[in-house]
Structure 1
């Protein structure tokens, strides 16, 4: 074979392996909140063969972010969707919803939206497996809280979950990030605050029910609460992956972290 032909085949192979995936923005209607919600959808460039399906990873954005935060922060997700054959779904979670159903504001029902409206919509519109063993969820900061909180409470829907820089216990921050708008003032609603934290939700979790990975930068203001969650899971003998890396609460950290979580989920799916 001529050298030019070998070179052409090599370039073709590289291009195929790094083919970017289609990135679309869709609207999904929420009956619970009576509004349309934007979602970024990253599909593998190669359509599945007849009879085959895609696993799904839901990616939740952080406080003050939106549906586009993940693809802007980690554009390599477009390549990884094709490389691993994974469908990524990035829903808008509002400016400061924390992904729960507010007990005091009926207009904030993001737990209901994701678990009862978005997942059925995605499974109907795309060639997904449609079962928990091929569905995972993760997120950054506020989205990290949301991902673990939803996965623990809905273990029938998610088989794996993660968080990067997750606000897994926001009780030490009673006046931050609009939380009291949705849960009430901490001093008079302590029980409600505790009930909506990840570190409380794990009380109902048993080993083997959920594959878990979470990480935090050593310069992150959420480091202490992530260490506390790790320790609680150790005490409850719940297997999980916990990582601390150099870095703070910023895009550079999340852009690096998500690659390891995608590998973790891909291993779980396979």
Structure 2
């Protein structure tokens, strides 16, 4: 029995390039949420991993596919045998303001939408996945913040987490959105900071990687996170590459995330 009052899923007759679209109604959003899902081709696929891939500010469920062609990248890597077959679930962030930051606030639970609803909707509707599927989470910018923060907070749920050009503390959201930072305030301040949550859960963290372009406006924040994790002896993989806060960078370096997650399976 479905946990969702209503579910709509795209008709295979009209789908293309292995993309499927799911809309569910959830109490966490007080309405409907969208998920774009890449489902790999192949016979007898079952219990395959699920990557939750989060977008940044201003975006939605379609943006990783139609700004970066992430499904083509995944298909190519799977066909070459460089990564295992994996489902990629790309949800909207809940479409609050310029970006929800994947935090609970303003009477919406954007956090549970990601860590509960998106996974359950994927398992309910994508036959090659199940409750036995390994779970991974990644994202860019605000989505990198969501992935690193939620992956650390729900450490026992995910096998690996990855961030690209990530916000590392909610204070940095003001670089991108017009909404007041007060909207994002959490009752427990540590819940606003990636390092604080990682440090709290340091004994149970999944595998961690993150990267940033050397010309990115968030580079110093990512370097600071790397330094704090190193000082705290929290195992992680941090890399810097040429590039800025732009789609060309994310389109290229999502490959690093796919390889990292595939190696963990």
Q: TM-score range by the shorter chain?
A: 0.7 to 0.9
Q: Which residue of structure 1 lines up, in the alignment, with residue 154 of structure 2?
A: 154
CA deviation vs aligned residue, 1:190-229 (integer Å, no higher than 9, x gap): x755531212212212256311110000000110110111
- Check whether the contact 1:59–1:89 (CA below 8 A) recurs between aligned residues: yes
Q: Any stretches of 5+ residues in structure 2 without a counterpart?
A: 1-15
Higher-Rg structure is 1
Instruction: State the distance in 2 between where 1:253 and 1:129 align.
Output: 32
How big is the shift at 1:76?
Answer: 4.3
2-structure distance, mates of 1:173, 1:195: 14
Report what 2:231 is aligned to: 235
Q: What is the aligned partner in structure 2 of residue 25 from structure 1?
A: 21
Alignment of 1:177-216 (within 5 A): 177=177, 178=179, 180-183=181-184, 194-206=190-202, 209-216=205-212
Conserved? CA contact 1:206–1:238, under 8 Å: yes
The 3-state SS of whatever aligns with 1:225 is helix
* Separation (CA, whole Å) in 1 of partners of 2:89 and 2:70: 14
Please say if 1:36 is aligned against 2:36.
no
Matching residue within 211, 218, 223 for 2:214: 218
| C-alpha contact 1:42 1:78 (8 A) present in aligned 2 | no
Deviation digits for residues 13-69 of structure 1 (CA, Å, limit 9, x no counterpart)? xxxxxxx951122202222222111111000011434xx321111100001111111
SS at match of 1:206: coil
State the superposition RMSD in angstroms: 2.2
TM-superposed deviation, 1:122: 1.5
Question: Match for residue 138 of structure 2?
Answer: 138
TM-score for the superposition, normalised by structure 1: 0.81
Contact 1:208-1:239 within 8 A present in 2 as well: no
Residue 98 of structure 1, aligned match among 65, 78, 101: 101
Secondary structure, counterpart of 2:103 in structure 1: coil
Q: Higher mean Cα deviation, 149-158 or 197-206?
A: 197-206
Structure 1 unaligned spans of 5+: 1-19
Q: Which residue of 1 aligns with 2:116?
A: 116
**Aligned twin of 2:48:** 54
Aligned counterparts of 1:173 and 1:66: Cα–Cα separation in 2: 17
The answer as to 2:64 corresponding to 1:70 is: yes
In 2, the alpha carbon distance for the partners of 1:109 and 1:170 equals: 16
Distance 2:229 2:153 in 1: 16
CA distance in 2, matches of 1:231, 1:205: 17
Q: Matches of 1:150 and 1:236 in 2, distance apart?
A: 19
